[in-house]
């Protein structure tokens, strides 16, 4: 009884605060409700690269620069300009007269603090590959930061668009975990509450340095893993924005009164990773087996039957055709089950073999359907894939801890530079299930090459090397489909899954 009474007393203040927040909440007409695929793991944008996490956190905690999806150009946010002093020294000009919502100044010291956190692989492991060039950062004056790099890097500007600026004093008081629970930033919204697996609520920052939100004072982010439920909520008016819809849902709702469909070519590259790590012993360690699995999968059938042809096949490489270093001479391994069976027999598996095949369920639209199709095709050549479906949080946990081997489905959508894409296959990258020194050598060479033509040549060589080694079953480049109510305008989805609220307008309800 004492324990129960104590629990009730501890819960009472939270209940009072929740009721007070509800009493002061803006009307539904001025609240923007967004449904995404899963609940954030942290509200600190640099805590993870997963877009659902970053979308929520970045509405409160802002980056130095921002790539505008409408123009595909990098634009200033908390930094006004980036100037090269030398190939390894850069000046960052900081926006004046900006404060965090706790009153701390957003100045050069805050930017230096944030760069050091960003470059600390123990604190920010998800961005360690992006931060690889960073050597040091120092304040030159209250509004200027000097960034030094270990080597000339062609990705400095895009890297800085991934640096989210945090208030040093508050960060040091609460630490990385505390900040991830109750973030403080400079953005157009400020943190209000987070009810796990239910909603994240944020309210307008009345002291925001930029344009105020247009037509809405509150944003509620809802985790809705079931894609059909996201679509249904959009149709009933429960959600104003439903992210990451499937092709069937988008086609069904196309032309529906009161609903707008937004389609963006995705940066996300889908493939089945075939682990070469020693901790995942399996027949996949043999190149012949990996090539056989590529012959066994009919990628065109998947694109046609599951996605109505809206996705684009990968041509046997992880770079998209728009990217520097894409090799037009490469093609996908053709669908050839007989060739697959012959290679398996040559590798000592005439009767095939069995292995675990993991897939996210609800992390990406139609992810489980894709995995089921792949497993069925592998079965026809004797590879018995035991499918294990994981909810998004568990999938990401196993991904980080390299527990997904020996084989798993994934879609990767880093910022739009070949280094950020291929860096995910470097042996020491925390999400990498590949161990190949030739990959590492070429990844490092491209990372340091400033000449565009020479850089493209490095990546073409890397694509050919990867095609030969077949570390994955190449599938397709995705398509991002989002639905909004007709009241929403100005939303410009980006290919990496980012949904930024800059420029978004919520019109008044009619009637």
Q: Which of 491, 483, 481, 319 is nearest to 413 (CA)?
A: 319
Q: Are 240 and 506 in contact (CB under 8 A)?
A: yes
Sheet holding 134-141, edge to edge: 79-86, 89-94, 144-149, 134-141
Tokens of 403: 């527990």
Sequence-distant (≥ 6) Cβ neighbours of residue 188 within 8 angstroms: 59, 204, 205, 208, 210, 211, 212, 213, 501, 502
Q: Which residue has the tokens 């090799």?
A: 327
Per-residue pLDDT of the chain (511 residues; tens, 9 = 90+): 333 333 333 333 333 344 444 446 778 789 999 999 999 999 999 999 999 999 999 999 999 999 988 888 899 999 999 999 999 999 999 999 999 999 999 999 999 999 999 999 999 999 999 999 999 999 999 999 999 999 999 999 999 999 999 999 999 999 999 999 999 999 999 999 999 999 999 999 999 999 999 999 999 999 999 999 999 999 999 999 999 999 999 999 998 999 999 998 899 999 999 999 999 999 999 999 999 999 999 999 999 999 999 999 999 999 999 999 999 999 999 999 999 999 999 999 999 999 999 999 999 999 999 999 999 999 999 999 999 999 998 999 999 999 999 999 999 999 999 999 999 999 988 889 999 999 999 999 999 999 999 999 999 999 999 999 999 999 999 999 999 999 999 999 999 999 999 999 999 987 5
pLDDT score for 1: 34
For the chain, count helices (H), then strands (E): 15, 19
pLDDT score for 431: 85
pLDDT score for 69: 86
Q: How many other CB atoms sit within 10 Å of the CB of residue 153?
A: 21
Q: Which of 79, 24, 11 is nearest to 201 (CA)?
A: 24
CA distances 137 to 91, 110, 157, 175, Å, are 10, 11, 15, 21
Indicate the Cα dihedral angle 229, 262, 496, 412, nearest 10°.
Answer: 60
Q: Give the gyration radius of the chain's Cα atoms.
A: 24
pLDDT score for 253: 94
pLDDT score for 86: 97
For 272, how many CA atoms within 13 A lie in the half-sphere containing its CB? 29
Query: d(Cα 494, Cα 492) in Å, to the nearest integer?
Result: 6
pLDDT score for 511: 56
- Whether cis (ω within 30° of 0) applies to the bond prior to 330 is no
Q: Where are the beta strands (DSSP E) in 51-169?
A: 65-68, 73-76, 79-86, 89-94, 134-141, 144-149
Q: How many other CB atoms sit within 10 Å of the CB of residue 57?
A: 27
Query: Would you mind telling me the total number of residues written for the chain in this entry?
Result: 511
pLDDT score for 10: 34
Q: Under DSSP, is residue 370 helix (H, G, I), strand (E, B) or coil?
A: helix
Q: Under DSSP, is residue 379 helix (H, G, I), strand (E, B) or coil?
A: helix
Q: Which residue has the tokens 């592998």?
A: 378
Q: Where are the alpha helices (DSSP H) in 190-321?
A: 227-236, 247-253, 287-296, 299-307
Query: d(Cα 391, Cα 408) in Å, to the nearest integer?
Result: 13
For each of the domains in the chain, give its residue range(s) and CATH number, in order of start. 24-195 (3.40.190.10), 266-479 (3.10.105.10)
Q: Are 98 and 209 in contact (CB under 8 A)?
A: yes
Q: Which residue has the tokens 């055709």?
A: 321
């Amino acid at each position: 009884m004492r324990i129960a009474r104590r629990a009730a007393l501890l819960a009472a203040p939270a209940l009072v605060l929740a009721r007070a927040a509800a009493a002061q909440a803006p009307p539904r007409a001025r609240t923007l409700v967004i449904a995404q695929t899963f609940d954030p793991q942290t509200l600190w944008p640099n805590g993870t690269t997963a877009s659902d996490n970053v979308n929520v956190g970045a509405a409160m905690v802002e980056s130095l620069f921002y790539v505008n999806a409408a123009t595909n150009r990098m634009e200033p946010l908390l930094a006004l300009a980036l100037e090269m002093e030398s190939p390894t020294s850069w000046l960052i000009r900081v926006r004046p007269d900006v404060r965090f919502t706790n009153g701390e100044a957003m100045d050069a010291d805050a930017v230096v603090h944030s760069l050091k956190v960003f470059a600390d692989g123990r604190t920010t492991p998800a961005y360690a590959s992006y931060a690889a060039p960073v050597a040091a950062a120092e304040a030159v004056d209250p509004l200027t930061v000097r960034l030094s790099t270990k080597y000339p890097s062609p990705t400095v500007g895009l890297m800085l668009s991934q640096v989210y600026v945090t208030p040093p004093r508050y960060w040091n008081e609460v630490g990385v975990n505390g900040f991830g629970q109750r973030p403080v930033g400079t953005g157009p919204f400020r943190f209000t509450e987070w009810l796990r697996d239910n909603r994240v609520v944020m309210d307008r920052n009345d002291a925001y340095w930029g344009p105020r939100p247009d037509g809405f004072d509150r944003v509620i982010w809802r985790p809705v893993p079931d894609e059909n439920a996201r679509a249904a909520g959009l149709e009933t008016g429960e959600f104003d924005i439903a992210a990451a819809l499937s092709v069937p849902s988008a086609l069904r709702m196309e032309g529906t009164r009161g609903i707008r469909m937004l389609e963006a070519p995705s940066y996300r590259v889908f493939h089945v990773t075939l682990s070469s790590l020693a901790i995942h012993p399996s027949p996949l360690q043999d190149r012949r087996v990996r090539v056989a699995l590529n012959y066994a999968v009919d990628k065109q059938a998947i694109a046609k039957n599951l996605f109505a042809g809206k996705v684009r096949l990968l041509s046997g490489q992880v770079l998209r055709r728009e990217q520097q270093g894409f090799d037009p001479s490469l093609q996908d391994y053709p669908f050839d089950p007989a060739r697959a069976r012959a290679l398996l027999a040559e590798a000592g598996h005439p009767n095939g073999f069995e292995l675990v095949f993991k897939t996210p369920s609800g992390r990406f639209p139609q992810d489980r359907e894709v995995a089921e199709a792949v497993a069925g095709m592998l079965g026809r050549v004797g590879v018995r894939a035991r499918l294990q479906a994981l909810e998004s949080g568990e999938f990401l946990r196993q991904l980080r801890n390299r527990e997904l081997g020996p084989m798993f489905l994934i879609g990767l959508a880093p910022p739009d530079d070949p280094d950020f894409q291929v860096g995910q296959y470097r042996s020491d990258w925390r999400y990498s299930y590949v161990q190949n020194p030739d990959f590492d050598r070429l990844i490092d060479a491209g990372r340091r090459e400033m000449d565009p033509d020479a850089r493209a040549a490095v990546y073409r060589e890397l694509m050919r090397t990867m095609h030969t080694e077949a570390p994955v079953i190449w599938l397709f480049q995705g398509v991002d489909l989002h639905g909004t109510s007709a009241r929403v305008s100005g939303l410009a989805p980006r290919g990496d899954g980012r949904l930024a609220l800059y420029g978004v307008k919520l019109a008044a309800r009619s009637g």
